Structure 1
C-alpha cells in the first residue's frame, strides 16, 4: 500500500514538472534567457580550458591596446594582456559573487518574510520597519558605505573561501543589503498561506511553529523564491560591477567590473579602445538581461494572474 502511494506521488510530481516545463517553454523570453545564461555559465565553469590560464603582466602576449585581430579576438589591454582571456576568467568571478550573494539574500529575505508573515503582531511590525529601511535605501549606497569598513575590519590581502578580502566583502555586503525586496514578497504570500486549511490541520496535529513554516509553508513559497531569485541575481551583478568599477574589486581576481575600472583608468575611451570597455560591458548587460527574462518567464508561469499568450 505504501509503495502504491509513493508511486502515485512520484507520478503526480513528474506530471507537475512536465506541465511546468511545457508552460515555461512557451515563453520566448525563457529560451533567450536560458541560452544566454548557459553560454556564460559554461565560460565560468571552465575558463582555463577555453582560453588558458589567466594572463598577467608578466605573461602578456600582445601590444599596448592593440585592436582585435586573429591572435587576439577582443584586442589587448594597456599591459598587452588578451581581453578575451580576461573577460572569460572574469565571468567566473562576477557570476560566482552574484550567485552566492543572491543565495545569502534569498535566505535572509525568506527567513524574515516567513517569520514576519506567520507570527504577525509586534514581530511583524518590527521586522517590516527594518525591511523598509533596507528597501528605501538603495543596496548600492549601503554597500558603498559598508564595504570599505568591512575590508578594514577583515584585513587586506587575505583569502576567505577562495576569494581575496575585497571580493569576499563585496559578496557578503551585496547579500546583506539586497534581501528586502524578497522579504516583502514572501511575507505577503505567507499572510495568505497561514490561513489555509492545511496549516490549521497541522496546528491541530500538534506541529510546532517552526515545523509548520519549514514543512508546510516554505514548500509553497519555492516558486516565488525561484522567480524573484533570478531577478535578484541581475541586481547583484549590477551592484558588483559598480562596486568593482569604483575600485573595491581585486585586480588579481578581475571581475567584469574590475576590467571596466582598469579600462577607464587606462584611458580606453579617449584612446578609442572600444573593445576594452565594450567587452565586459556587453557581458554584464547580457547576463543581467538573461536573468531578468528568465525571472519574468518564471513569474508568468507560476502566477496564474500574469499568464498571457506569449
Structure 2
C-alpha cells in the first residue's frame, strides 16, 4: 500500500515569499514610500468621507484666494472653493490616470519585449527599432503632439469605457508612449530565460511558443516588471500633470495638474497665493517620490547584483 508523499512546495514557497517581504520591508526607502502611498490611496479611495463632495463654483463657501485659516486649512481658490477639497478629490483622478496608463504601458512593453527576446532575428530587429523610437523621443513631447489629435478625433462629449474623452485620451496617450524602457528590460531578461533548461524541456514536450512565453518566461519576469512598473507610475504622474497643466486635462474632473493650470490662469504666483500652487505641487512630488522609493526597493530586493544601503 503506497504512502502519500506530503507536498512541501507550498510551505517552501511561503517561506521564500516571507524572506523576500522581510528583505523588501528592511529598506528604509520602502517603508517611507509605502507610508506615503498608503496615505494617498486612502485619500483617493474615500475623498467624500474625508472632505465631503467635490466643490464647484456654485457651492463654494470661502472667500476668493483666501489664505489658509481655521475653516480652510489649505486656503481657497479663485472662486472660493476649498483647496483641500480639490486636492483630495484630485488624488483619485491623478492616481487613476497614472495607474491605468501604467497597466497599458506594462502590457505593451512586456508583450513586445518578450516577443523580441524570444524570437530574435528579424522580429527582434524590427521590434527594437520601433522601441528605440519610443525610447529616444521624450514621452512628454510625443504625448503633447498626439493628445490634441486624439481629442479632435474622439471629441469631448459622452464617455469612453467609463472615462470622459479627455481623461481617456490622456490615459491612452501616456500608456502608448511610455513602454519603451519596459520593453528593453523585458527583452534582456527574456534573452537569458529562453536559454534555460526549463524552456528546453517545455519545447521537448511540445509546448507552443505562446505557452512557453506565458507559462514559463512571464512568471520569471514578474519581479522586474513590478519594480519597473513602480517607476513607470511616477513618470505617468509627471506626464499627466504636465499635460493637464497645459490645458489638456478635464476641468470637470480636476486632477493635480488641472489645479496647477487653474492656479496659473488665476495668477496665483503673482498675487502670492502660494497655497494654491503649493498643495497640488507637493502632492505630485510626494506621490512620485513614493513610487520611486518603492520601485528602487523592489529592484534592490529582486536584483542580487545591486548593492543598496538599507
TM-score, normalized by the shorter chain, greater than 0.5? yes
8 Å CA contact 1:68–1:75 kept in 2: the answer is yes
What does residue 96 of structure 1 align with?
96
What does residue 169 of structure 1 align with?
169
Cα separation, 2, equivalents of 1:95 and 1:31: 20
What does residue 137 of structure 1 align with?
137
The Cα of 1:272 is off from its aligned counterpart by: 0.3
What does residue 42 of structure 2 align with?
42
8 Å CA contact 1:113–1:187 kept in 2: the answer is yes
The one-character-per-residue Cα deviations of 1:176-213 (angstroms, maximum 9, x if unpaired) are: 00000000000000000000011001101111100000
The Cα of 1:126 is off from its aligned counterpart by: 0.3
Unaligned runs of 5+ in 1: none
Aligned-partner SS, 2:246: helix
The Cα of 1:162 is off from its aligned counterpart by: 2.8
Q: How does 1:25-104 map to 2 (within 5 A)?
A: 25-104=25-104
What does residue 291 of structure 1 align with?
291
Cα separation, 1, equivalents of 2:117 and 2:87: 43
Cα separation, 2, equivalents of 1:91 and 1:161: 20
The one-character-per-residue Cα deviations of 1:148-189 (angstroms, maximum 9, x if unpaired) are: 111111111222233211111000000000000000000000
The Cα of 1:10 is off from its aligned counterpart by: 1.2
The Cα of 1:309 is off from its aligned counterpart by: 4.0
Does structure 1 residue 114 correspond to structure 2 residue 127? Answer: no
The Cα of 1:95 is off from its aligned counterpart by: 0.2
The Cα of 1:4 is off from its aligned counterpart by: 4.9
8 Å CA contact 1:301–1:307 kept in 2: the answer is no
Cα separation, 1, equivalents of 2:93 and 2:163: 9
What does residue 15 of structure 2 align with?
15
What does residue 254 of structure 1 align with?
254
Deviating above 3 A after TM superposition, structure 1's stretches of 4 or more consecutive aligned residues are: 1-5
Cα separation, 2, equivalents of 1:263 and 1:131: 37
Cα separation, 2, equivalents of 1:302 and 1:126: 30
The Cα of 1:276 is off from its aligned counterpart by: 0.2
The one-character-per-residue Cα deviations of 1:259-278 (angstroms, maximum 9, x if unpaired) are: 00000000000010000000
Cα separation, 1, equivalents of 2:177 and 2:22: 35
Pick closer, same or farther for the CA change 1:191–1:102 going to 2, 3 Å: same
**Which structure is higher in helix share?**
1
TM-score when scaled to structure 1? 0.98
The Cα of 1:250 is off from its aligned counterpart by: 1.0
The one-character-per-residue Cα deviations of 1:196-239 (angstroms, maximum 9, x if unpaired) are: 01100110111110000000000000000000000000000000
Pick closer, same or farther for the CA change 1:4–1:229 going to 2, 3 Å: farther
The Cα of 1:307 is off from its aligned counterpart by: 3.3
Cα separation, 2, equivalents of 1:145 and 1:96: 22
What does residue 302 of structure 1 align with?
302
Cα separation, 1, equivalents of 2:166 and 2:94: 13
Cα separation, 2, equivalents of 1:114 and 1:307: 27
Cα separation, 2, equivalents of 1:36 and 1:55: 25
The Cα of 1:82 is off from its aligned counterpart by: 0.2
Aligned-partner SS, 2:195: coil
Q: How does 1:117-196 map to 2 (within 5 A)?
A: 117-196=117-196
